Structure 1
Amino acid sequence: MSHFANTNTLFVFDIDGTLTDSVPMYLMAVTNAMYALGIKEIDTDYNAYKHHSDSYALRFNYERNFEIPYTKEILTLFEKALIEEMKTFSPVTEIKGAGRFIDFLKTAKIPFCFATGSLPKPALLKMEQSGIWCDEAVLATSKTHEARTGFVAEAIEKAKKYYATSGFSKIISVGDGVWDLKTAKEMSLDFVGIGSKNKKELIKLGAQHYFDSIEELQSYFFSD
């Protein structure tokens, strides 16, 4: 992967753990929101789930507890409960340099979008609390797709519409999780890992480009 990025390069960002320091809090909020819906037995080993997304976590636990299919109405109630649970925690902060990097991309007219396993309102709240620019026009979430491949593909399509283009010469997925790398491989996207939490595992699984910080990532692609 060439490290030159231009106005026909699309960056697809994960949010939790990549741009916002929100993973531990949000997993607790997800668990508590399901309790609030009356789900008593919850599998909290979220990393072992088939899909790392709010909608899948809800469906899996709801149907396992009540033995009936969950509905869109239940998903809407879950999203509202998530917001209420998030309000009981301290505001989310950014991963250092995330807001500046997004602002840089906007100013430089480098296309980007967001693909997250979260639901829309919690995702927007995390970005707002972190002071990172976000617009629903370039945000895809698990409200429409349980699988990461689904909402990453949706994010790319939204970006095409937002930037008025039929396609991009290069698409770079930026994430901190093993599922981000696996999705990028499945979709034949370039991948850039970020942060230190999963660094060893991601490199072991074949991540060729990895940075400990967003500042390092920005310098790699856009240094003079």
Structure 2
Amino acid sequence: MDLLIFDIDGTLIHSHEDEVTCFVKAYTQVMGKSDINTDLQSYEHVTDTGIAKECIFKQFMREATEDELLAIEENFLTLFDQSLSINPPKVIKGIHDLLASLSNQENLCLAIATGSYYRSALLKLNHAALGLAHLPLSSCDDHIARIEIMKHANNRAKDHYAIDNFRSITYVGDGPWDIQACAKLDWNFIGIASNYSALQLKTWGAKSVINDYQQPLGSFLELILNK
């Protein structure tokens, strides 16, 4: 059996224009400061929890408390849910048909790994009507570091599908942090040129890059099997 793990933002759906705004507002409501760096590449851990912790450490020169992190998360979820209700996320072209086709592949298992909060991930999937809540999903609730989230997704998938080990693992993502993690894990990587160009993703080390999921199923399966 082969395992295919999807990221969410920029991979299953286009990154939502209001997510950063909601996060900054939630952080400001709790911490009283709004000067947050919105350049994701500047953070050690590009995950919701990682960003919140790093912002607090840099601004207050101390570690974040669990109460602060929970308050930021709760405020963010309230704001973001309201935003998604008005402006649902837009899916990457072709993903509905691809997921329907992949579900019929007997030797392929699916999972999700995201740097988002777990409840935020579910909000996005539900508002996008992707119907993937049944899949094993790992998030920054499981670990602050993306590579550990991805490892957790693999382990959760093994438990979910009752498999000791997968023949191959492919991660579909859209950022340099995804490429770096896959290189360290020795996983196959498929880049989605949504937030970054195909050229930029290849410059960062991606060998397989697509713009969306409108190509024939056979072509996509070849990328998974790294043929």
- TM-score (structure 1 length as normaliser): 0.88
Note the C-alpha offset of 1:17. 0.5
Any residues of structure 2 matched to 1:1-224 within 5 Å, and which? 8-40=1-33, 41-86=35-80, 87-88=82-83, 90-109=87-106, 110-135=108-133, 138-196=136-194, 197-216=196-215, 218-222=217-221
Distance in 2 between the 1:50 and 1:178 partners?
A: 12
5+ residue gaps, structure 2, are 223-227
Note the C-alpha offset of 1:80. 1.5
Q: Give the aligned residue type for 2:58.
A: R
Distance in 1 between the 2:77 and 2:60 partners?
A: 23
Q: Give the aligned residue type for 2:110.
A: F
Note the C-alpha offset of 1:137. 5.7
Query: How many residue pairs are counted as aligned between the two chains?
Result: 216
Q: Give the aligned residue type for 1:207.
A: A
Instruction: Give the 4+ runs in structure 1 shifted more than 6 A.
Output: none
% identical equivalent positions: 27
Q: Give the aligned residue type for 1:107.
A: N
Q: Give the aligned residue type for 1:166.
A: D
Note the C-alpha offset of 1:31. 1.5
Q: Give the aligned residue type for 1:51.
A: H
Q: Is contact 1:52–1:117 with CA below 8 Å preserved after alignment?
A: yes
Distance in 1 between the 2:95 and 2:66 partners?
A: 33
Describe the shift of the 1:91–1:60 C-alpha distance in structure 2 as closer, same or farther (beyond 3 A): same
Query: Which moved further from structure 2: 210-219 or 121-130?
Result: 210-219
Please name the residue that 1:5 is paired with: none
1:28-71: CA deviation from partner (whole Å, max 9, x where unpaired): 22222211212403222222211111111100112333333223
Please name the residue that 2:225 is paired with: none
Note the C-alpha offset of 1:189. 0.4
Q: Is contact 1:211–1:217 with CA below 8 Å preserved after alignment?
A: no
Query: Which moved further from structure 2: 84-93 or 184-193?
Result: 84-93
The DSSP-based 3-state class of the residue aligned with 1:210 is strand
